[in-house]
Chains A and B, each alone.
Chain A
């Protein structure tokens, strides 16, 4: 059974500093996704990582994937208040009839001035 673990579960950030969220998964997976969720809202796709060594960046967020270590990181550079949200990683395994996503527990991020 595929398991996905994130840490930390909660991250209190100071504006302007850098932080990293880690996502480990237990078995070989085809793809890794990062989502952002604001309170009471849906899941907003941030990144899709498709291969070993993949790195993607958008603004202050950068995600990377190491499939050998079964590890993805989401790096936040110079945190700002707008980045306060819960971040989830998710992995899937390709099947011809659809790809079920298995989510990590989420990392709740609070950026303080």
Chain B
């Protein structure tokens, strides 16, 4: 069964360093998302990406964050200068079908635990 994969599973970095989190969405999906979950808290939307551009972003997704789909398979989240408060689990998700009004279930990857020291 197709699944979303993420690497690395755990990333430890120093404050101020850049990190890139990688995701491989399900191959025929069209919509891509990043969410984050601070330990013990709820899952929060960061950004959605469709047709090679950001379609929506949250207040959390400031200038320190960027997303890219560098080739036909990978979807990356970059944090330019990490802060302590960026420590969280980051989930990638993807969903399929076209843009018409239809049911679009999101499938989540296993997550990358980011620890900023």
A residues contacting B by CB (< 8 A) are: 31, 33, 40-43, 45, 48, 50, 88, 90, 94-106
Contact = CB atoms under 8 A, between A and B. Distances in A.
Interface of B: 31, 33, 35, 41-45, 48-51, 55-56, 91, 93, 95, 99-101, 103-111, 113
A43 B91 contact: yes
B55 A95 contact: yes
Contact of A100 (B45, B100, B101, B105): B45
11 contacts: A45-B107, A88-B42, A90-B43, A94-B101, A97-B56, A98-B49, A98-B95, A99-B48, A99-B104, A104-B42, A105-B42
A97 B50 contact: yes
A75 B101 CA distance: 29
9 tightest A-B CB contacts, nearest first: A97-B55, A98-B48, A96-B99, A98-B31, A103-B43, A97-B50, A43-B108, A42-B110, A105-B42
A42 B109 contact: yes
A42 B91 contact: yes
A88 B43 contact: yes
A67 to B, nearest CB: 15
